[in-house]
């Protein structure tokens, strides 16, 4: 039988060369998620080019205006362009959210793996530590640490990373506990594999997927958390535009104009949606049982 090569769309050919991302984009929902996330990243990088005005430029006569040709999304209580502020705000949002979630994910995963795999005393100690961290309301804990360290962006990142870390440690620990008992782990041990290689090459790939998904869904939460800290004056100082600052400013004037709240809310919701869709597609791609052949 003659082998006839099917015509391949040039776009598909490009996707073939991008290892994991290519497969994420191939899924329709993954593609939507990717486009949203990409749009935000473009905002982060090219903020001065995209924003029509400076984020602190005031136009008092037009304060609390609705959307118009001049101000696409309207203005806030001192007449600043909401669109420009949102665009610049993405820098703060991503600049704090990404590194803090990365910190939480890395440390949490490590602790979770160790606790779940070694068990016994080590497990007890780690679990008690995580539980006591979680026992504090996260906002109280953050405020306490920030009060000690002093408010700054770097400190906000560290604080958020620490408060979020127990979630990851728990998820990974629970997964590790169940994977540890699987036959294939014993089978690895029976061919003489070391604990380190069992943990890294057999347990980690099987437990990381839910944590990655959790991370994707946590990003928008962390952004709002940062907004909350900024609102309390422990995060970003005005006039630096943070989505949280925009939201809280808008909240103060909610009966005069709803636009600031609506737009900052929509932005947060879009971020959540984008990262969730992207995260779910990523999870499917990373699991060979769902996606077919490609794994980590």
Partner 1 sequence: MESILKVENLEIKYHTRQATLSAVHKANFEIIKGQIVGLVGESGCGKSTIASAIMRLLPPNGEITQGKLLFKGTDLLGLSEDEMRHRRGQDISMIFQDPMTSLNPVFNIEEQMVDAILAHRSRNQSKSRSEAREQAISMLNRVGIPDAASHIRNFPHQFSGGMRQRIMIATALQTNPSLLIADEPTSALDVTLEAQITDLIRKLRDDLQTSILYITHDLGIVAELCDQVVVFYAGNVVENGEIHQVFNSPLHPYTRALLLSHPSNKNKTVRLTTIKGRVPSLKDLPVGCKFAPRCDLAESICFEQEPVQTNVNSHFVLCHAYAQNWQGKAAETYLNSSNNYQPTKEKTPQRLLVSESEQTVQTKDLKVHFKDSIGFLGKLIGEKQGLVRAVDGVDVEVFHGESLALVGESGSGKTTLGRTILRLEKPTSGDVLINGQEITHTSQKDIRHLRVGMQMIFQDPISSLSPRKTVSQLLLEPFKIHKIRVDSDKKVDELLEMVGLSSEQADKYPHQLSGGQARRVGIARALALKPSLMIADEPTAGLDVSVAAGILNLMKDLQDEFGLTYILITHNLNIINFIADRVAVMYLGKLVEIGETETLFSHPRHPYTEALMSAVAIPDPSLRDKRKRIMLEGEIPSPRNPPSGCPFHPRCRYKEELCTRVPPKLESFQNSTQWAACHFQDQIGRESELLNH
Stretch of 47-55, 194-202, 215-223, 276-284 contacting partner 1, by CB under 8 A:
194-202
User: Which CB, 111 or 198, lies closer to partner 1?
Assistant: 198
- According to the binding rule CB under 8 A, does residue 137 interact with partner 1? no
DSSP codes joined into one string, 80-106: -BHHHHHHHHHHHHHHHHHHHHHHHHH
Interface of this chain with partner 1, residues 233 to 292, rule: CB under 8 A:
288-289
CA nearest neighbour of 283 among 272, 273, 291, 293: 291
The token pair at 251 is 């909240």
User: Shortest distance, CB of residue 295 to partner 1, whole angstroms?
Assistant: 5
**Closer residue to partner 1, CB minimum distance, 7 or 192:** 192
Residue 70 within binding range of partner 1, rule CB under 8 A: no
Closer Cβ to partner 1, 239 or 295, answer by number: 295
Nearer to partner 1, 53 or 117 (CB): 117
> How many residues in the shown chain lie near partner 1 by CB under 8 A?
21
User: Phi-psi category of 120—alpha, beta or left, where left has phi over 0 and alpha has psi -120 to 50?
Assistant: left
By CB under 8 A, residue 190 contacts partner 1: yes
Coil, helix or strand at residue 119: coil
197 is an interface residue for partner 1 by CB under 8 A: yes
Binding flag, residue 293, partner 1 (CB under 8 A): yes
Q: How far is the CB of 194 from partner 1 (least distance, A)?
A: 7
Q: Cα-flanking dihedrals φ and ψ of residue 233, to 5°?
A: 80, 15
Alpha carbon separation from 26 to 13, 92, 272 (Å, rounded): 11, 30, 20
Among 7, 10, 150, 192, binds partner 1 (CB under 8 A): 192
- Binding mask 205-224 vs partner 1 (x if CB under 8 A, - otherwise)? xx------------------
Build a one-symbol-per-residue string for 149-188: x at contacts with partner 1 by CB under 8 A, - elsewhere: ---------------------------------xxx-xxx
CB of 198 to partner 1, least distance (A): 9
Buried b (16+ CB within 10 A) or exposed e, 201-216: ebbbebbbbebbbbbb
Q: Are 167 and 218 in contact (CB under 8 A)?
A: yes
Helix (H, G, I), strand (E, B) or coil at 75: strand
Cβ–Cβ under 8 Å, residues 145 and 100? no
Say if CB 243 and CB 58 are below 8 A apart. Answer: no
Q: Which residues bind partner 1 (CB under 8 A)?
A: 182-184, 186-194, 197, 202, 205-206, 288-289, 293, 295-296
């Amino acid at each position: 039988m003659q082998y006839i090569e099917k015509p391949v769309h040039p776009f598909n050919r490009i996707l073939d060369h991008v290892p994991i991302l290519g497969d994420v984009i191939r899924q329709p929902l993954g593609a939507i998620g990717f486009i949203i996330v990409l749009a935000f990243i473009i905002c982060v990088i090219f903020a001065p080019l995209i924003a029509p005005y400076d984020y602190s430029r005031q136009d008092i006569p037009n304060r609390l205006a609705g959307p118009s040709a001049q101000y696409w999304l309207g203005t806030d209580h001192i007449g600043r362009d909401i669109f420009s502020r949102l665009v610049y705000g993405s820098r703060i949002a991503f600049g704090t959210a990404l590194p803090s979630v990365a910190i939480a994910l890395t440390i949490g995963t490590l602790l979770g793996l160790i606790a779940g795999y070694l068990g016994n005393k080590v497990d007890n100690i780690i679990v008690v530590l995580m539980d006591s961290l979680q026992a504090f309301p996260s906002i109280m804990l953050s405020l306490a640490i920030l009060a000690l360290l002093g408010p700054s962006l770097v400190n906000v990142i560290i604080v958020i990373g620490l408060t979020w870390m127990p979630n990851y440690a728990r998820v990974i620990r629970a997964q590790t506990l169940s994977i540890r008992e699987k036959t294939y782990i014993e089978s690895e041990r029976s061919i003489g594999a070391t604990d380190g290689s069992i943990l890294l090459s057999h347990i980690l790939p099987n437990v990381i997927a839910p944590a990655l998904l959790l991370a994707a869904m946590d990003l928008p939460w962390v952004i709002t958390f940062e907004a909350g800290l900024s609102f309390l004056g422990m995060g970003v100082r005005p006039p630096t535009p943070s989505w949280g600052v925009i939201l809280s400013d808008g909240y103060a004037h909610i009966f005069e104009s709803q636009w600031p709240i609506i737009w900052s809310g929509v932005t947060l919701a879009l971020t959540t949606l984008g990262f969730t869709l992207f995260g779910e597609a990523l999870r499917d791609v990373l699991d060979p049982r769902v996606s077919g052949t490609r794994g980590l």
